[in-house]
Structure 1
Amino acid sequence: MAGQKLRKDAARNRELLLKAGREVFARHGLDATLNDVAHYAGVGVGTAYRRFANKEELLDAIRVQQVDEIEEILHQALAVEDPWEGLVLYMEKALALNTSDRGMAQILAGRRTRAELYDASRDRIAPLVNEIAGRARLAGAIREEITGTDLVFIQIACTSVATVVQDGPDVEGRSDVEELYRRYLWIMLDGLRPHREGIAPLPVAALTTEQTHALLRSPLAPEGEEASA
């Protein structure tokens, strides 16, 4: 019975650390430490190191979870009858994950991931992304030259927009600035179409020049000095 309790405690602590790791890395990126994760999870540092030998081992475990989630989104998208709607569902849902989790975005971009684990993840995800693009091409929903890699780089671009917003100050007069990346996603999605019967309405309004400069202004710049634009 004592051994069974220890196994249950070990499993519980591992799940606590995985959940805490995702939240800590989401907020602070991959520079956060395993000690930071342990404190956030409410477990001792020694307990953390018994479950994960180092931060990289924790990141590997988190990556497996993340790939599972992206794969599930891809299967949901492929189950949508309309290929264009499936493509849009994939891009919206995948970006919602990436932009809310800075650590996830860095890991999925290949940052701080062991090459063999990245390759294994790619082998699971890339064929499904290519299938999303391929069936949209066959349906005439996107331009003939569009490939799965184009969808990946659109996500990287939109995630960069989200990172700028996350690193910047609050924008006066705007409560939707965290959704700004979706404006540029829809501009790029429109660019995938071979023809347009109409222009899709953009989901988020543009920032004004003043709001843009307030967002991009370097926090290290002296008061009154703008970051170069």
Structure 2
Amino acid sequence: MTSATKPLRADAERNRVRVVIAARELFASHGLDVTLDDVARHAGVGVGTVYRRFPNKEALVLAVFDHVLDELVEHIDAAVAEPDAWVGLSRLITDIAEKQAADRGLYEICTRADFGQMERISAHFIPTMEALVSRAKEQGALRPDFEAPDIGPLLIMVAASAELTRAIDPDLWRRYLTMLLDGIRAGCSSPLRIDAPTHEQMDQAMRDKHA
């Protein structure tokens, strides 16, 4: 390696960081449908620079959200470690809702199977959520007909309300989250007349939505 090549590599790394930062900003504000050309313009680099570092959008999505998904796993682990299962469950739902409300791209990556990240989330999310929900029921804090696969649709509803009411008040979604959390606590008097979906059914529904 010659000294002349080192500045080029440093420049390439700086450009990579610029691309990732630009993509993070665009994904957060516009979602995952932005193109690599959009990212290049926002980063102030040539399109070829983006494609040299990231051959497709999935590779860029992975680079942007890899650390975010690690944070989600940490939130899940913290919820399971909480002695009071209701506190852990409600805090986890709130934490994820907060992240999704602030980041449209994160919301989409958690609900779209076509970017290949749902498998990573589900592998950690499903068994820990099953255990947390079961423990919350045993502690008498969670309504007995609530099931772990119900969590995903609840989060989607909260994220949709955040998107709808963002111009009114960016925190208005918290009102609806409180209503939803109250509705899943033990002692709710209204019976659920339809069974919860399975994890497999929810996974297929998300795949079909974006087919």
Q: TM-score, normalised by structure 2?
A: 0.77
Tell me the amino acid that sits aligned with residue 142 of structure 1: L
- 1:22 and 1:101 in contact (8 A); partners too: no
C-alpha contact (below 8 Å) 1:83/1:135 kept by paired residues: yes
2:22 alignment counterpart:
20
Change beyond 3 A, Cα 1:20–1:130: farther
How many aligned residue pairs are there? 186
- Separation in structure 2 between the aligned mates of residue 49 and residue 85 of structure 1, nearest angstrom: 45
Deviations 1:46-80 (A, max 9, x none): 22111101223212333433321211111222232
| SS of 1:85 mapped into structure 2 | helix
Which residues of 2 match residues 163-178 of structure 1 at below 5 A? 163-166=163-166, 170-171=167-168, 177-178=169-170
* % identical aligned pairs: 37
Counterpart of 1:179? 171
Distance 1:125 1:192, change over 3 A: same
User: 2 CA distance for matches of 1:5 and 1:124?
Assistant: 41
Q: CA deviation at 1:3?
A: 5.0
- The CA deviation string for residues 98-132 of structure 1, in whole angstroms up to 9 with x for no partner, is 11111111111025423xx4323311222222233
Distance 1:8 1:131, change over 3 A: farther
Distance 2:46 2:90 in 1: 43
Paired with 1:4 and 1:139, the residues of 2 have a C-alpha distance of 60
Partner of 1:110: 112
Q: Secondary structure at the match of 2:97?
A: helix
2:199 — aligned with what? none
* 1:195 aligned counterpart, secondary structure: coil
Bigger relative contact order (CA 8 A; separation at least 6): 2
Do the aligned partners of 1:67 and 1:125 also contact (CA within 8 Å) in 2? no
**C-alpha distance in structure 2 between counterparts of 1:71 and 1:190, whole Å:** 25
Secondary structure of the corresponding residue to residue 32 of structure 2: helix
- Structure 1 position 8, deviation (Å): 4.5
Q: 1:34–1:191: structure 2 CA closer, same or farther, 3 Å change rule?
A: same
1:158 maps to what in 2?
Answer: 158
Distance 1:27 1:131 in 2: 34
**CA distance in 2 between partners of 1:127 and 1:9 (Å):** 43
Aligned 8 A contact 1:159 1:181 in 2: yes
Whichever residue aligns with residue 181 of structure 1, its letter is: W
Tell me the residue number matched to 2:66.
64
**Equivalent-residue separation in structure 2 for 1:90 and 1:179 (angstroms):** 17
Partner of 2:144: 144
Structure-2 separation of matches of 1:90 and 1:44? 40
Query: Where do 5+ consecutive residues of structure 1 fail to align?
Result: 172-176, 197-229
* CA 1:151–1:12: 2 relative to 1, 3 Å: same
Is the aligned partner of 1:79 residue 2:81?
yes
After superposing on structure 2, the runs of 4+ consecutive aligned residues of structure 1 that deviate more than 4 Å are 1-9
Task: Classify the secondary structure of the residue corresponding to 1:179.
Answer: coil
Match of 2:123 in 1: 123
The match for 1:132 is 132
Specify the code of the residue in structure 2 equivalent to 1:178.
Answer: P
Residues 111, 118 of structure 2: 8 Å contact kept:
no
Partner-residue secondary structure (3-state), 1:127: helix
Please name the residue that 2:184 is paired with: 192
* Superposition RMSD in Å: 2.2
Q: Is the 8 A contact 2:85 2:135 kept in 1?
A: yes
- Cα deviation for residue 9 of structure 1 reads 4.2
Match of 1:53 in 2: 55
